[in-house]
Each structure stands twice: as C-alpha cells, then as structure tokens.
Amino acid sequence: MITTRQFDAARQFIYRHGDLLTRRRFAYHFERGPIEAVLDVLACYQNSDGGFGHGLELDILCPDSSGICAEVAFGYLVELGVGQGPLFERGLQWVVSAQTADGDLPHPVDAVTRYPHGPWWKQDHGRILSLAGLLGKLGHCPPEVSRRAAAILERYLPFPQELEVYDYPVALYLRYGDPEGIHRQHLGALEAAFLSMLGTYAWHHPLFFRPGRWEHDGIPASLWEAEAEKAVAALQDDGGVWIERYARLSWWRPVWTVDLLVTLNYRGFLAENEQGPI
C-alpha cells in the first residue's frame, strides 16, 4: 500500500515535526515503545479535576478541561486499548460528574477565547455522545452517561438523511454508547448516511485521520481498501500527510500522518518490511 521509502519519510517527518505525544504514539506502534511512555505524556494534559485540556485538541490551547479534550484523550485510550488505571479512572469520573444543565459536557468558552483557538471552537454541543461511544468501545460506559447521551440525541431527530464529517458523535453513540438499544431503530439510517458522507467528504479521508471517529467493524474489506488507496495519496514527498482544505492547519500534519500509519497497520495494509521491528 505504501513503499518502504514512504514509510521512512513519514517516520522522519513525525520525529522532526511531531510533538512528544505524537512521537511516542509512533514509537509504541512501530518501534516497540512502551505503552507507559504514551500514557505518561497523555497524563500531562490531565487536570486536577480529572478532565483534559492544555491543547490536547490542537486548536484549543486553554488549560481548562473540556468535552472535546476528553474526547481526544479517550480516543487515544481506545487506540491503546486502555480501559483501566488512574488516568482512565480519573478521566471517567470527570465525564460522569462534569455536566451542563442539559446533561452535556462543559465547554469553557471564556477560557477558550483567552488563549489561541480555532474560531469554530467558540461553541461546542453534543460531546457527551462521542464520550458515551468511546467508553462503550472500552466496555466501560456508565448507565448515567448513556442516558445523558440518549437525551442529547433527541435534538438530532428525526434522523437526517445526510451527515457531515463532524457528525461522528452521533455515530459513536448509536454504535457503541446505546447498550439498551433506545435508538437502535436509527442504525439503518446511520449506515446509509455514513456511506454518503464518505463520498461527500472524500477529501477528508474520514476513516484514516482521527480514525476512531467513523471506523467500525461492519465496514467491508473492499471499502477499506478503496478508502486506504485514497488516503495514502495524501502522503507528500516530505513524508507528511497534506489535506489541501486544511492548509493553514499545518500543526496537524504529524498527527494525521501517525493516524494514517496506525490505521493502515491495524487494517493489514502495511507489508512486514514497512512496519519496522514490531
């Protein structure tokens, strides 16, 4: 799927431009790096209240805990298969205890705007949906979190015929965060809208960049292969992933590059000599 030269160029790009968390993710997946090294860095983003902040979401640099930073943190824990331990337990307690009047997760707008941030982050809604799904993937979604997410989902009904690429919290909840099947009747509509979304947002490569959002076990191998070929085409000669519509967000390139390699590897698209000593 990619050549050894491309893999080596991607490694150089990650080590030259990636932050410590990104580099340690790569080392864990491809260089026998210890999982504890990844968790140690992730813990630096965790606040005393158990939530996460400090720029874990790269476009929100305020230190305060937020729903989106919790989502990013638990996304990494799903990637690592970590569903226990102090970092997980403290983060889970924050998700359970931190809530707005309607049961969603808080988004500290005042703090966000005091620090560098993407203007699209002046508001955020429905983040409890993705946390319910991610916790469900780990087998640890508390009933109260699922119930809060179920109430929030009602805002999205009737279920839309089309989904945008950033509607993934809805998909995460329906697939993994609804153990009682309260909204099971919408899964068919979700699958149809999911396939349409992949076509509409082909430029975004939704299965490969921030992969835990849309991927699920029901995706056929033929679709994975077709989407993988498109995603690999985003690798540039300098070794990094380039998404033209996000050209101004260059700080994301090392993260996307690791995302791509990890997903290719997990789905069996890297030949043995391209994976390194793993």
Contact indicator for 262, 25 with CB cutoff of 8 Å: yes
Give residue-wise pLDDT tens across range 135-164. Answer: 999 999 999 999 999 999 999 899 999 999
Burial tier of 29 (Cβ tally within 10 Å: 0-12, 13-18, 19+): buried
Contact indicator for 122, 83 with CB cutoff of 8 Å: no
Contact indicator for 236, 247 with CB cutoff of 8 Å: no
Give residue-wise pLDDT tens across range 208-246. Answer: 999 899 999 899 999 999 999 999 999 999 999 999 999
Output 212-216 pairs: Cβ under 8 A, ≥24 positions apart.
Answer: 212/75, 212/78, 212/79, 212/134, 212/137, 213/75, 213/130, 213/168, 213/171, 213/172, 214/168, 214/171, 215/263, 216/171, 216/175
Q: How far is CA 54 from the centre of its chain?
A: 17
- The pLDDT value recorded for residue 211 is 87
> 3-state class of 243 per DSSP?
coil
In order of start, what are the domains of the chain with their CATH numbers?
Answer: 4-274 (1.50.10)
- The pLDDT value recorded for residue 1 is 86
Give residue-wise pLDDT tens across range 87-145. Answer: 999 999 999 999 999 999 999 999 999 999 999 999 999 999 999 999 999 999 999 99
pLDDT category, 79, cuts 50, 70, 90?
Answer: very high
Residue written as token pair 């995302």: 259
pTM over 0.85: yes
> 3-state class of 142 per DSSP?
coil
Cα(211)–Cα(218) distance, integer angstroms: 15
Phi/psi of residue 235, nearest 5 degrees: -70, 130
Count CB atoms within 10 A of the CB of residue 185: 10
Which residues, at least 6 apart from 121, have a Cβ–Cβ distance to it below 8 Å? Answer: 57, 59, 60, 68, 107, 112
